[in-house]
Amino acid sequence: MPTDSHIVRADVFSAEDVPDNSLRPKLLDDFLGQSEIKKNLKVFIDAAKQRNEPLDHLFLIGPPGLGKTTLAQITANELGADFKVTSAPALDKPKDLAGILSTITPGTVFFIDEIHRLKPAIEEMLYIAMEDFELDWVIGQGAAARTVRIPIPHFTLAGATTKAGMVSKPLQTRFGIVQRLRFYDDNELADIIRRSAGILGTAIDDDAAMLLAGCSRGTPRVTNRLLRRMRDYAQHAGSPVVTSEIVREGLEKLGIDNLGLENYDREILLSIMNNFGGGPVGAETLAISIGESQDTLEDYYEPYLIQCGLIQRTPRGRIVTQKAYEHLGMTPASDSLKGQGSLF
C-alpha cells in the first residue's frame, strides 16, 4: 500500500507547507486550542501594551507542528511590533546574531526556532542582549583588541524548542514567560479543519472533519496537510463536499489508519512483535531494524506511539502493548504476554 511518509511527519517541513501560511491565524482570538496559553498571553500582552514596554522574553516548548511559530507571530501582531524570524542552525557565528540585533526596531519580537541548537558563543552573546540590551563586540586583534558594548533597542526574544531539556539553564532562566504547548484533542482539531476548509473554499461534513481529526496525531500541521489531500480526492471524485466516505478512501490510499499511524509506525510495532517477541528491545537496536535514525525514532515516532498506548518504555527497553496487537489484528505469543507481565 503506498504511503507518503511525510504527510504525518510534523517534524519534517515540506514545500507544501508554505501555502499553509494563509491558514495561520493572525490574532489570539483566531487561534484555536491551547486555551490556557492564550489566556495567559492575552494578560501579558495587554499589560505590556498598557505600560508601553516590550513583552518579557517568551519561551515556547512543545512537539513540532503545534503552533509555536504561529504564536510568536501572533504575539508580534498583538503588540503591533515588527517580527524577525530565524533558526538556531542558521546562526553560525556571533556576527550573524549581531547583524540581526543591530538592525531591529524597538519592541521587535525576535523569534529563534530550535533554540536548543544555539552554539555556545552565540548563546553567551544572547545572554547580555536579553538582560542588558547590549552587544559585546571585539574591536582590533591581538594586544590591541578591546571589547566595546553596543546598545540595542529593547526587544522580545521568542525562543521555541522541541527539546527543553537540551536548553541550558542560564538561557532558560532569562525567559520571563514560559509556555508549554500540548497536543490538541479531536474537537479542537475538527474546529481547525472547519476553519481551514473555509479559508480554502472547501466544504467538509462534520463527520468527515471528526474522522480527519482522529488521525491527525494531535497536530494542526498534519491536519492541514491531510485536509489538502482530502480536498484533492473530493475534486477528483467530482464531489463538492469532503465526505466521511472520501476521507476513509483517501486515508486508505495514503496508507494512514484511523489512529493516524503510517507505514513506519506500523513497521516499528511489527518489528518489536516479529523480531523481538514483543519486546523488550533497546532503541538503538530497534532503529537499526527499521532503517531509521535513533533520534528520529525517539523524538518523533515513539512519543505518539506511547501517547496512543501502543508501546511502553521500560528499564529493559521498549515493549508493545495488548492494544497494539489488537490494532494490527495480531495475536501475541504467550511468551510475549508473560514477558510483559513480569515487567509490571
- 8 A C-beta contact, residue 177 and residue 57: yes
Overall average pLDDT of the 252-261 stretch: 88
Please write the tens of the pLDDT for every residue from 170-207: 999 999 999 999 989 999 999 999 999 999 999 999 99
What is the strand order of the sheet 109-113 is part of?
Answer: 83-87, 109-113, 156-161, 58-61, 177-180
- Report the pLDDT averaged over residues 269-287: 87
Give the percent of the chain with pLDDT over 70.
Answer: 88
Q: What pTM, to 2 d.p., does this model score?
A: 0.82
Sign of the Cα pseudo-torsion (139, 141, 146, 147, in order):
positive
Q: Quick one: pLDDT band at residue 6, thresholds 50, 70, 90?
A: low
Evaluate if residue 93 carries a pLDDT over 80: yes
Q: Is the pLDDT of residue 69 over 90?
A: yes
Query: Who has greater pLDDT, 275 or 74?
Result: 74
Q: How far apart are CA 48 and CA 331, in angstroms?
A: 59
28-37 per-residue burial string, b: 16 or more CB within 10 A, e: under 16: beebbbbeeb
50-59, 129-138, 161-170, 272-281: range with highest mean pLDDT: 50-59
Residue 122 confidence (pLDDT): 92
Query: How high is the pLDDT of residue 148?
Result: 75
* Higher pLDDT, residue 40 or 140: 40
Say what the pLDDT of residue 298 is: 80
Highest-scoring range by mean pLDDT, 16-20, 50-54, 132-136: 50-54
State how far the Cα of 191 lies from the Cα of 196, in Å rounded to an integer.
9
R_g over Cα of the chain: 23
d(C-alpha 335, C-alpha 29), whole Å: 54
Cα separation, 72 vs 109, whole angstroms: 8
Identify whether the C-beta of residue 54 lies closer than 8 Å to the C-beta of residue 154: yes
User: Residue type for 168, please?
Assistant: S
174: amino acid identity, one letter:
R
Quote the mean pLDDT of the chain.
86
Residue 235, C-alpha cell as written in the block: 475534486
Quote the Cα angle for 262-255-318, to 5°.
Answer: 25
299-336 pLDDT, tens digit each = 778 888 888 889 998 888 889 999 999 988 888 765 55
Q: How confident is the model at residue 9 (pLDDT cuts 50, 70, 90)?
A: low
* Residue found under cell 501579558: 44
Of 332 and 18, the structure prediction assigns the larger pLDDT to: 332
- Taking 50 as the threshold, does the pLDDT of residue 342 lie above it? no
In sequence order, the 6+-apart residues with CB closer than 8 A to the CB of 312 are: 306, 318, 319, 321
So what's the pLDDT on residue 291? 84
- pLDDT digit string (tens) for 140-169? 666 666 677 888 999 999 999 988 888 999
Crossing angle of helices 120-132/94-101, nearest 10°?
30
**Three-class DSSP category at 80:** coil
Residues designated as active site:
68-69, 113, 162, 221
290 confidence band (pLDDT: 50, 70, 90): confident
